[in-house]
C-alpha cells in the first residue's frame, strides 16, 4: 500500500468496510500487517484479488448485509497461505487450491493469514440469477470446499488466475466471450456438485468438458502413453464420444496432442538455457521418444530439422 506500518491495517479495514461487500475486520498485531488489493470487471463478473501478510479476522453480520447486499454469489479461490471461512458457525479451513462458494446475502466470517505468514485469495462475483441451478440448491453448496486442483475445478481455477492477474489484457471483443466461458464453467461446476447438470445447456457442458480434456492433455504431454484411449478412459468417455467432442474443433484429439508436443519441443529448442540438452532428450521429455519419427514430424511442421531450427534460433 505504500503506507507507514502504523496506518496499513486501518486503511485496509476502511477499504473492506465499504460497499458492495462491507465487512468488519480485526487484527491483533496491526503493525505487522501488510496487504495489496486489485479489482476489475469482466462483463458481468466482478474480479478481486487480495494478498496480505499477518493474521486478521473478518465478519459480515446481518447488519452489514442490510446495509449493502449486491445479491450475488462469490467464488473464492485460495491461492496460498492459511485462511478459512465460517458459515452457520461451521469453520472451514481453506488450503491452497481450494474453491469455496459464498453468498453475499448470508452472514459469513473467517480469517486470513497467520502470525508469521501471508495469504492470497482470488474472487469472482456474479449475479445469482445467472446460474441455471435452482437458488436453493446453489445455496446448499455455500461454504463447502471444492477441489480446485483437478478436473473441472482446475479449469475454473486456471481461468480465475488468468483473468484476475490483469483484466485489462483482454480486448473489448474478448471480454464478453471470456466472461461467458467463465460463467458457463461456473454453472457446470455448481451443477455438478448439486446433481443438476441436466439444467445446464448442452453447449456449456460440451465447452466445460472440452476445456477439461485440453487441460488433461497439457498436463500429460510428457507421458508417451498419452493417447485418445487414455484421455477417454480418464474422463469416463467412449472413444466415439471423445472424437465427437472434438468434431467442431480445428484439430482432432490425436492431432492436438501431436501439435502441442511439437510446439513444446520447438519452444525448448529455441531456449538458449537448454542449448546443452540433446535434441532427442528434449523430444523424449515431451512424449516423443522415437528420434527419427520426431525429426520427420518436426520438419513437416516447421520446415526445418530440429537441429537446423535450434541453430537458426541461436544466431
Which residue, among 249, 256, 195, 246, has the nearest Cα to 226 in the 3D structure? 256
In a domain, 143, yes or no: yes
Tell me: do 228 and 189 sit in the same domain.
no
Tell me: do 235 and 291 sit in the same domain.
yes
Q: DSSP character for 197?
A: G
Give the whole-angstrom CA distance, residue 99 versus residue 111.
15
In a domain, 204, yes or no: no
Q: DSSP character for 117?
A: B
Give the whole-angstrom CA distance, residue 112 versus residue 118.
8
Determine how many CB atoms are found less than 10 A away from the CB of residue 237: 17
Tell me: do 261 and 171 sit in the same domain.
no
pLDDT at 173 over 80: no
- Domain CATH number, residue 259: 1.10.10.60
Looking at residue 194, what is its pLDDT?
Answer: 87
In a domain, 46, yes or no: yes
Tell me: do 36 and 123 sit in the same domain.
yes
Helix 151-165 to helix 202-219 angle, to the nearest 10 degrees?
Answer: 90
pLDDT tens for each residue of 93-148: 999 999 999 999 999 999 999 877 889 999 999 998 888 888 888 998 999 888 88
Looking at residue 235, what is its pLDDT?
Answer: 93
pLDDT tens for each residue of 205-263: 998 999 999 989 999 999 999 999 999 999 999 999 999 999 999 999 999 999 999 99
Looking at residue 24, what is its pLDDT?
Answer: 97
Residues across the chain:
315
Tell me: do 107 and 160 sit in the same domain.
yes
Tell me: do 125 and 227 sit in the same domain.
no
Give the whole-angstrom CA distance, residue 103 versus residue 138.
9
Mean pLDDT of the chain: 92
CA angle centred on 22, ends 21 and 27, rounded to 5°: 130
In a domain, 12, yes or no: yes
Total domains, the chain: 2
Question: DSSP characters for 210-262?
Answer: HHHHHHHHHHTTT-TT--HHHHHHHTT--HHHHHHHTTTSSS-HHHHHHHHHH
In a domain, 169, yes or no: yes
Which residue, among 245, 154, 258, has the nearest Cα to 205 in the 3D structure? 245
Tell me: do 190 and 250 sit in the same domain.
no
Question: Which pLDDT band holds residue 152 (cuts at 50, 70, 90)?
Answer: confident
Tell me: do 189 and 231 sit in the same domain.
no
Half-sphere exposure in the Cβ direction for 29 (13 Å, CA): 11
Write the CB contacts of 42 (distance below 8 Å, at least 6 apart in sequence).
163, 167, 170, 175, 178, 179, 182
Q: What's the mean pLDDT in 270-287?
A: 95
In a domain, 261, yes or no: yes
Tell me: do 151 and 256 sit in the same domain.
no
Which of 196, 211, 231 marks a domain boundary?
196
In a domain, 211, yes or no: no
**Tally of helices (H runs) and strands (E runs) in the chain:** 12, 11
pTM of the model: 0.80
Tell me: do 187 and 262 sit in the same domain.
no
Give the whole-angstrom CA distance, residue 254 versus residue 262.
13
Tell me: do 161 and 71 sit in the same domain.
yes
- The residue written with cell numbers 457442458 in the block is 205
In a domain, 87, yes or no: yes
Q: Which domain holds residue 263?
A: 220-315
Tell me: do 225 and 153 sit in the same domain.
no
Which residue, among 210, 211, 191, has the nearest Cα to 199 in the 3D structure? 191
- Domain CATH number, residue 49: 2.60.120.10
Q: Can you give the three-state secondary structure of 133-160, one letter per residue?
A: CCHHHHHHHCCCCEECCCHHHHHHHHHH
Half-sphere exposure in the Cβ direction for 28 (13 Å, CA): 9
Looking at residue 72, what is its pLDDT?
Answer: 95
Q: What's the mean pLDDT in 272-279?
A: 94
Secondary-structure breakdown of the chain: helix, strand, coil percentages, each rounded to the nearest 5: 50, 25, 30
Looking at residue 110, what is its pLDDT?
Answer: 96
Amino acid at each position: 500500500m505504500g503506507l507507514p506500518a502504523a496506518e496499513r491495517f486501518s486503511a485496509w479495514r476502511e477499504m473492506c468496510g465499504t460497499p458492495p461487500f462491507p465487512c468488519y475486520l480485526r487484527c491483533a498485531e496491526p503493525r505487522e500487517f501488510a496487504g495489496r488489493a486489485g479489482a476489475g470487471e469482466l462483463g458481468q463478473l466482478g474480479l478481486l484479488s487480495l494478498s496480505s501478510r499477518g493474521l486478521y479476522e473478518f465478519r459480515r453480520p446481518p447488519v452489514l448485509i442490510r446495509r449493502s447486499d449486491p445479491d450475488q454469489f462469490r467464488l473464492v479461490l485460495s491461492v496460498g497461505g492459511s485462511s478459512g471461512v465460517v458459515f452457520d458457525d461451521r469453520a472451514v479451513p481453506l488450503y491452497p487450491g481450494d474453491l469455496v462458494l459464498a453468498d453475499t446475502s448470508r452472514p459469513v466470517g473467517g480469517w486470513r493469514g497467520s502470525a508469521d505468514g501471508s495469504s492470497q485469495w482470488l474472487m469472482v462475483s456474479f449475479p445469482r440469477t445467472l446460474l441455471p441451478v435452482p437458488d436453493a440448491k446453489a445455496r446448499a453448496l455455500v461454504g463447502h470446499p471444492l477441489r480446485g486442483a483437478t478436473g473441472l475445478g482446475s479449469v475454473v481455477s486456471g481461468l480465475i488466475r488468468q483473468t484476475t492477474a490483469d483484466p485489462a489484457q483482454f480486448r473489448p471483443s474478448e471480454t464478453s466471450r471470456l466472461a461467458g466461458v467463465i460463467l458457463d464453467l461456473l454453472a457446470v461446476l455448481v451443477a455438478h456438485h448439486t446433481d443438476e447438470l441436466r439444467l445446464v445447456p448442452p453447449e456449456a457442458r460440451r465447452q466445460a468438458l472440452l476445456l477439461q480434456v485440453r487441460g488433461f492433455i497439457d498436463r500429460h504431454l510428457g507421458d508417451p502413453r498419452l493417447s485418445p484411449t487414455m484421455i477417454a478412459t480418464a474422463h469416463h468417455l467412449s472413444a466415439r464420444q471423445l472424437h465427437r467432442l472434438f468434431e467442431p474443433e480445428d484439430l482432432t484429439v490425436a492431432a492436438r496432442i501431436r501439435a502441442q508436443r511439437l510446439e513444446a519441443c520447438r519452444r525448448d529448442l529455441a531456449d538458449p538455457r537448454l542449448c546443452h540438452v540433446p535434441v532427442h532428450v528434449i523430444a523424449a521429455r515431451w512424449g516423443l521418444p522415437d528420434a527419427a519419427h520426431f525429426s520427420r514430424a518436426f520438419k513437416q511442421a516447421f520446415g526445418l530439422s530440429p537441429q537446423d531450427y535450434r541453430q537458426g534460433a541461436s544466431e
